[in-house]
């Protein structure tokens, strides 16, 4: 034939591939060796990844789910209520969880503002969350019972009974996951021929 024709699959092989042509002696045909170097396209912008808001929302939801599951499992394993003082109701526990969620969202949100947040922020977020929960329960019991000794005893029971440790672990896992989502630079799948220049 008069000219070489481009095969349809050549367009899919052009991007990120290095071509080396070797001609056999005395033969008109060329042997084409294609080595895929997987080099990024400099003209394509870097993927934005997961936004800080989305990563924060998913992390908060994950923390709440892990905390509820962990506290429930702890209560079943120990056959005891998380707050064992009768007459206090659910108010102190709910208030403590709300303060814990707020502290988790605020501290993790501050860490996720960076495009490349550090995983070292996860234990800081977890510690702030556990302390906020502990302070919330203590304050809720103090308001409900008007007894400083009872409030301090309940807060101490959360630490010694393992509830604070459960919240600490849930916050570490959820914060680490949120930071990992923020750091990723994943993008939607593309066909090999997408983005090729038309000739």
Residue 67 has pLDDT above 90, yes or no: yes
Q: Is the pLDDT of residue 151 over 50?
A: yes
Whether 65 has a pLDDT exceeding 80, the answer reads: yes
Confidence of residue 46 (pLDDT cuts 50, 70, 90): low
What's the pLDDT at 54?
92
Mean pLDDT of 121-130: 95
pLDDT at residue number 184: 82
pLDDT of residue 51: 87
- Tens-digit pLDDT profile for residues 169-199: 999 999 999 999 988 865 555 566 655 444 4
pLDDT, tens digit, 9 for 90 and up, residues 126-144: 999 999 999 999 999 998 8
Distance CA 185, CA 175 (A): 18
Task: Please tell me the distance from the alpha carbon of residue 106 to that of residue 127, in angstroms, as a whole number.
Answer: 13
According to the model, what pLDDT value does residue 26 have?
47
Q: How far, CA to CA in Å, does 105 sit from each of 12, 16, 159?
A: 45, 42, 22
DSSP states of 97-133: HHHHHHHHHHHHHHHTTSSS--TTHHHHHHHHHHHHH
pLDDT at 59: 96
Mean pLDDT along residues 154-162: 90
At 3 the pLDDT is: 44
Residue burial 101-139, b: 16+ Cβ < 10 Å; e: rest: bebbbebbbebbeeeebeeebbebbbebbbbbbbbbbbb
């Amino acid at each position: 034939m008069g000219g070489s024709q481009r095969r349809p699959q050549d367009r899919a092989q052009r991007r990120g591939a290095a071509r080396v042509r070797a001609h056999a002696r005395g033969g008109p045909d060329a042997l084409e060796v294609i080595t895929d170097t997987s080099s990024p396209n400099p003209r394509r912008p870097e993927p934005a990844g997961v936004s800080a808001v989305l990563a924060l929302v998913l992390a908060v939801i994950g923390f709440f789910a892990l905390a509820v599951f962990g506290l429930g499992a702890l209560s079943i394993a120990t056959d005891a209520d998380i707050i064992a003082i009768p007459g206090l109701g659910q108010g102190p526990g709910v208030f403590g969880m709300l303060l814990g969620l707020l502290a988790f969202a605020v501290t993790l949100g501050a860490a996720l503002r960076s495009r490349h947040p550090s995983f070292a922020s996860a234990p800081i977020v977890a510690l702030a969350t556990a302390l906020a929960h502990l302070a919330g329960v203590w304050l809720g019991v103090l308001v409900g019972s008007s007894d400083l000794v009872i409030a301090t005893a309940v807060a101490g029971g959360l630490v010694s009974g393992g509830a604070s440790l459960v919240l600490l672990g849930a916050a570490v896992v959820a914060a680490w996951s949120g930071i990992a989502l923020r750091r990723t630079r994943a993008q939607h799948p593309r066909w090999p021929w997408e983005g090729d220049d038309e000739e």
